[in-house]
Structure 1
Amino acid sequence: MNIRDVAELAGVSPATVSRLLNQTGRVSASARERIEKVIQTTGYAPGRQSGRIEVNHNPTIGVLIPSLLNPVFSEIMAGIQERARHFGFSVMIADTGYERERERQAVVDLIRQRVAGVILTVASVENNEALSLLKEFSFPFCLVHNRSEEDEPSVFVDNYQAGYDVAAQLIAAGHTRLGMVAGRFQVSDRAKQRYAGFQSRIDAGEMAISEALIEVDPCEDAPFDASRLLSMHRQVTAWFCSNDLLAMKLMHYFSRQGIRVPEEISVVGFDGMSFGQLVSPPLATVRVPHRMMGNCAVDLLFNSRHHTGLNLQRQLRYEVNLSGSVMTRQ
């Protein structure tokens, strides 16, 4: 960080920052407040930059994702890096572990590194401090998978409609009692939206599915409540999982219990990851173009740097494919 960086983030001139730091002239109260907020957030100190090793000679895009362990974000990263190289940019990655405080700190760290912009997936866009900082400093960013309510740059699929479509196809296949295994709603607004759409179609069909929802920690290795699954598997005929990783873990769990998929119970994932087609039976899933989402996010990020006030949201298509781990019920 240098005095020009502080001025840019605060929306003032370098001379104004200099007057405040050196107390050599008047600075308005509003400018003072903005400058002090930048200094407090970034930890800028006037004497630190001299003799410092520069670590960011090359133009860089910051990327903030919830988990490097989830293959979904690996595919998105591949798309981001592919498109960033096209523009001559490198990529700096931060893993937040689905924690809001780590999201905020990661954004602060990326701003300090003076990246050209930030591409991010957050737990939820509601009351999100990381997003608030980016907007307050007018810092270029683009959301991936999260859908902004304020027409901010974002690329996403319609999670609500996808959940609705899964339930509709399962009902059409003859399933009369459905359940869902989802990442905890407080750390994934995507899972919450998928469940809302899923539940909406079930309610429209007047099907009782009381307690047929299990929320799990997306970072746990063994997330399933075995007692609840065993007590419900005789009633529930099809489980919808909020991502493919959970669906594969569920299928593995059923296999260990001697419960056959799809003959005795059906399982549906969400993401369309390639590994789901390497198992037997192949995983039924909602296919999402993650690599394309990464490409698109880089384009939207650069567009947002130069065009303010335009709608930079992009909604991509998904495909519901229920072949494989889903069986029609007569």
Structure 2
Amino acid sequence: MNIKDVAALAGVSPATVSRCLNNTGPLSSETRTRIEKVIDLTGYDVNKASKQVDWNHNPTIGVMIPSLLNPVFSEIVAGIQQRARHFGYSVIVVDTQYELSRERQAIIDLIRQRVVGVILTTASVENNEALSLLREFRFPFCLVHNQSPDEPCVYVDNYQAGWDVADQLLALGHQKTGMVAGRFQSSDRAKQRYLGFTDRLKQETLLPPMQLVEVDQYALTPFDQTQGSFFDSLLAPTAWFCSNDLLALKLVNHLKAQGIAIPEMVSVVGFDGMALGQILYPPLATIQVPHHTMGLYAVDLLFNSKHKTTLPLTKQLDYQPHFVGTMAECQPPTMRRVLYK
């Protein structure tokens, strides 16, 4: 960080920052408070800064994602890197492991790295400290996967996708359904998929209640005994919608280990379109999302915001239902009893 960076974040001139640091001129209390907040946030030290050589010649974009373990975010980052290189930028990536407490600190760390802007996926756009920080300092950013009505973002319609999954399962004769979801407090995307899914089911008045199983979406370990009990019974749902492909693959693996044939006995549908899901047998039924393209657009939208152009700041991408493989017609009760034997 240097004095110009502090001035840019505070929305003042470098000379004003200098007057604040040296107490050499009049400043309003509001301006002084704002400058001091930036200095505290960034850890700027005028004495250390004067003795350091600035090596950051290559402009950098900061990227904050929930997980480096999820291939979905790897695809997004690959798209961001490709587009960033086109403009001569490098990329710094930090992950938050789906923990709200890490998001604000991740943004502070990226600002301290003197990035020109941030591309990020947050737990939620509502009451989010990381986003509040970016908004307060008018720092350029673009959301990925999160949807915001008046801020730069690239996304798919998660609500409608959830609706489409429920509609297809109903068309295949499934009446008893369930959903395995990442915890909603960690993912507003999962919540939107859930709302779309359940709203479609509510249109059918005679259906039994939909069963919801919330789990940690980043845990790659098998389901524990309590969680597994939701899936193993003959009375369990005949179809499960999972809020992402990793959970869907985890569920398929669990059901197969219990001797439950997929999709003959139980249908499983994921969300994301991970390549891994398509090389297994049977291939995973899912909602395919163009994650690499999402990363490309995110860079463009970030620059549109940074340079205050009149170009669009939001982009809704199309998803593609892939309802084959682990999704099939619901078998009648008599056939299901035979299959379970």
- TM-score, length of structure 1 as denominator length: 0.96
Looking at structure 1, the residues matched to 121 and 48 of structure 2 have their Cα atoms a distance apart, in angstroms, of 32
Deviations 1:46-74 (A, max 9, x none): 11112224342211110000000000001
Matches within 5 A, 1:315-326: 315-326=316-327
1:107 aligns with 2:140: no
Amino acid at match of 2:43: G
- How far apart, in 2, do the equivalents of 1:35 and 1:97 lie? 31
Which residue of structure 2 aligns with residue 183 of structure 1?
182
Deviation digits for residues 89-124 of structure 1 (CA, Å, limit 9, x no counterpart): 111000111112211111001111111110000111
Say how many residue pairs are matched.
Answer: 328
Secondary structure at the aligned position of 2:46 is classed as coil
| Per-residue Cα deviation, 1:243-301 (whole angstroms, up to 9, x for no partner) | 11110010000010000000000000000111111111110000100000000000001
Using the alignment, how far apart are the partners of 1:287 and 1:15 within structure 2?
52
1:177–1:209 CA contact under 8 A, matched in 2: yes
AA aligned to 2:127 is N
Residue-by-residue CA offset, 1:311-330 (whole Å, 9 max, x unaligned): 51110000111111011136
Task: Work out the CA distance in 1 between the residues paired with 2:69 and 2:214.
Answer: 19
C-alpha distance in structure 2 between counterparts of 1:157 and 1:228, whole Å: 30
C-alpha contact (below 8 Å) 1:217/1:223 kept by paired residues? no
SS of the counterpart of 2:64?
Answer: strand
Structure 1 residue 308: deviation in Å? Answer: 5.9
State the distance in 2 between where 1:207 and 1:187 align.
Answer: 32
Alignment of 1:272 onto 2:282? no
The one-letter code sitting in structure 1 at the alignment partner of 2:249 is: M
Name the CA shift for 1:148/1:200 in 2 (closer, same or farther; >3 Å).
Answer: same
On the 8 A contact 1:64/1:95 being kept in 2, the answer is yes
8 A Cα contact 2:162 2:196, kept in partner: yes
> Deviations along 1:210-254, whole A, 9 cap, x unmatched?
3611000012123631122224x5331110000111100100000
Identity rate, percent: 64
Partner of 1:228: 230
Q: Which moved more, 1:44-53 or 1:3-12?
A: 44-53
Measure the CA separation in 1 of the matches of 2:3 and 2:208.
59
Matched, 1:295 2:288: no
The Cα of 1:309 is off from its aligned counterpart by 7.4
**1:19-58 deviation line (CA, Å, top 9, x unaligned):** 1111111001221121111111111121111222434221
5 Å-filtered alignment, 1:33-48, equals 33-48=33-48
- Which residue in the other structure is 2:155 paired with? 156
**Number of the residue aligned with 1:9:** 9
Q: Give, in whole Å, the separation in 2 of the partners of 1:132 and 1:275.
A: 36
| Secondary structure in 2 matching 1:214 | strand
Would the aligned equivalents of 2:177 and 2:210 in 1 still touch at CA under 8 Å?
no
For residue 141 of structure 2, what is the aligned residue in structure 1? 141
Q: Which amino acid aligns with 2:307?
A: H
Given the two structures, how large is their TM-score scaled by the length of structure 2? 0.93
Contact 2:179 2:210 in 1 (8 A): no
Segment drifting more, 43-52 vs 290-299 = 43-52
Give 3-state SS (helix, strand or coil) of 1:234's partner: coil
Letter of the structure 2 residue corresponding to residue 158 of structure 1:
D
Task: Give 1:1-330 correspondences, 5 Å limit.
Answer: 1-149=1-149, 151-210=150-209, 212-222=211-221, 224=223, 225-231=227-233, 234-307=235-308, 311-329=312-330
Q: Secondary structure at the match of 2:294?
A: helix
Change (3 A) 1:41 1:223: farther
Looking at structure 2, the residues matched to 308 and 152 of structure 1 have their Cα atoms a distance apart, in angstroms, of 13
Choose 216-225 or 169-178, whichever is displaced more.
216-225
Q: Which moved more, 1:119-128 or 1:216-225?
A: 216-225
Instruction: Identify unmatched segments of 5+ residues in structure 2.
Output: 332-341
SS of residue matched to 2:240: strand
Contact 2:154 2:317 in 1 (8 A): yes
Moved more, 286-295 or 26-35: 26-35
